[in-house]
A and B are shown apart, each in its own frame.
Chain A
């Protein structure tokens, strides 16, 4: 019984974290129907920002979060403006490998500057601390990350569905031309989607750095989890991404407990089955 609760709680916790990482991807895909293979690298950059601020400026890593988010935002918008606008004009294959190039570029740029070594953050308000709920003991940083995830999801959901900006974004995603005729600056909407997507995953990265290894290649692992999450939830659905994240977290937690070497196999298999059996995902269009 105890193990079960522990596993489920842990699974839900990790699920929130996965969902947090996937939020940006879902947003970008929802608005623009393009998959950003460099999404994991945006997160990785956020992690490095946090690491640098914590190690070199000796500030609490929490302080770095706004900066990680800001850098993510910038990266997203710059990528859109200088890369995506061009590759959208090309064939589908170009769209695919364009963001691949960005992924390689960012990953190896960071590796070149900081080296391939694994870094960790050792000091901080949340680092290494645990919170106890009854007999369950959880990493403080993970709990806070999950909490931040819920906050961000709530905020993005509110923004998309209750604000004028959100409506403009939705209009752009449903029919770009029609949106333009109605006076919406679709270019700005797209850039904004990329910016917000980058910002969310940058912050997610900053939080992740509290308890996960910081290395240039961490992006690849999380992008696959993000794809599985967004596919399961349904490309384009924010709520879907959140719920799917939880599900993936549970799969990984339970699967990882029983067959730890194959825990990622369960995630990949989940993606594959979802996309083959129910391409729309749980809530997508």
Chain B
């Protein structure tokens, strides 16, 4: 047991400088509401942590597993809707809805995983995309999910720990806590048997098989875990936005955003999601929002698209890969 705890919290295998940066990050995260008091600034931080959270989950199948999944939004949707519908109809406390969302995401993923993993590369990516789109259409079509109108949660006075509704500061610590929990989980995962077998599968399926790894089984497990992690973020979205609809929690754009964030930051590295989110969110929330105010939309994604092309062409390991190369030369 003590060993497991040590595995979760130990970053001993990472260079000292990385541990320092992590420490600074955690410290900033903890005192952030005192550092930044503007509502907008705090919202930016929450959005950053949310995207980074989604990225952490995706990094498991996409980064450590090397399977480009373009349908993560469906899992976000499952979590969000589970929470929303249970709260709306049965006044279920938040923390009871989260396992339900995770369960649906995992079950659905398990059901589609075996057929999908018969595919490789592009075909697989497009298949994940299609599955997610089908679900989104279904959620728009169905009445019991609220259809296109979505689901609204009653606003309760903050702080409310049953339904996890807070003010800005509360939400900040809430998402920060979720982020740190998944971050520590990923720290444990990358050192675990499944983590190594998954990376072996990513790097060379034949070799992995010859070393006793069940390739398909490993991929399926990873895909299901990613689904469960995504659902948690979805549940958060419900109690943060207090209103969800398929366009908010399950759109294709969200799947793409999550995947691209991790790829730009550095897929397969524990720092990737944070770096990618740090690259995108300020771009989007400051430059993008500012220009949108003057009637010009899209500059943030023009830049982001350009960055993605550069990364794909010159440094597929992402910004983290660039950092590593520079530090090796130094």
Contact = CB atoms under 8 A, between A and B. Distances in A.
Contacts of B295: 115
Contacts of B66: 93
Interface stretch (B7-15, B81-89, B113-121, B190-198): B113-121
Interface string A228-241: 10010000000000
A101 to B, nearest CB: 3
Contacts of A96: 68, 121-122, 125
A264 B138 CA distance: 10
A115 B116 CA distance: 38
Interface in A108-128: 108-109, 111-112, 115-116
B40 interface: no
Most A CB contacts (10 A, CB to CB) among B68, B304, B305, B314 go to B305
A105 B311 CA distance: 13
Question: How extensive is the interface on chain A, given as a class?
Answer: 35 or more
Contacts of B316: 87, 90-91, 93-94
A98 B127 CA distance: 18
Contacts of B126: 35, 227, 231, 271, 275
Interface residues of B, number: 48
B122 A86 contact: no
Most B CB contacts (10 A, CB to CB) among A93, A220, A228 go to A93
29 contacts: A35-B122, A35-B126, A86-B312, A86-B313, A93-B66, A93-B68, A93-B316, A94-B311, A97-B263, A97-B308, A98-B309, A100-B305, A100-B308, A100-B312, A101-B306, A108-B297, A108-B305, A109-B302, A112-B302, A216-B298, A224-B129, A227-B126, A265-B134, A265-B137, A268-B133, A271-B127, A272-B127, A275-B119, A276-B118
B286 interface: no
Interface stretch (B26-34, B167-175, B179-187, B252-260): B252-260
Instruction: Name the 7 nearest CB pairs between A and B, nearest first.
Output: A101-B308, A105-B305, A104-B305, A98-B312, A108-B298, A86-B313, A94-B316
Interface in A170-205: none
Contact of B267 (A93, A102, A268): A93
A104 B310 CA distance: 13
Interface string B58-71: 00001000101000
B301 A275 contact: no
Contacts of A87: 312-313, 316
Given A108-B298, A271-B130, A276-B127, A98 B122 contact: no
Most A CB contacts (10 A, CB to CB) among B260, B314, B316 go to B316
A82 B115 CA distance: 36
Contacts of B138: 262, 265
A276 B313 contact: no
Interface string A249-268: 00000000000011011001
A217 to B, nearest CB: 9
Contacts of B310: 101
Interface of A: 34-35, 83, 86-87, 90-98, 100-109, 111-112, 115-116, 216, 220, 224, 227-228, 231, 261-262, 264-265, 268-269, 271-272, 275-276, 279
B100 interface: no
Nearest to B299: A112
A167 B140 CA distance: 48
B241 interface: no
A115 B127 contact: no
A102 B121 contact: no
A271 B132 CA distance: 13
B307 interface: yes
Contact of A261 (B131, B141, B308): B141
Interface in B125-183: 125-127, 129-131, 133-134, 137-138, 140-141
Contacts of B263: 93, 97
B123 interface: yes
Contacts of A34: 122
Contacts of B329: none
B115 A276 contact: yes
A92 to B, nearest CB: 5
Contact of A104 (B62, B297, B308): B308
Given A94-B316, A97-B312, A101-B312, A275 B123 contact: yes
B296 interface: yes
A227 to B, nearest CB: 5
Contact of B137 (A86, A107, A262, A276): A262
B301 A108 contact: yes
A86 B134 CA distance: 34
Most B CB contacts (10 A, CB to CB) among A95, A272, A275 go to A272
B299 A108 contact: yes
Contact of A231 (B123, B256, B259): B123
Contacts of B122: 34-35, 95-96
Contact of B297 (A86, A115, A262, A268): A115
Contacts of A103: 305
Contact of B302 (A92, A94, A95, A108): A108
Nearest to A261: B141
A276 to B, nearest CB: 4
Given A101-B308, A104-B301, A269-B130, 18 more contacts: A91-B316, A101-B260, A101-B305, A101-B309, A104-B256, A104-B304, A105-B305, A105-B308, A108-B297, A224-B133, A231-B126, A261-B140, A262-B137, A265-B134, A272-B130, A272-B134, A275-B126, A279-B119
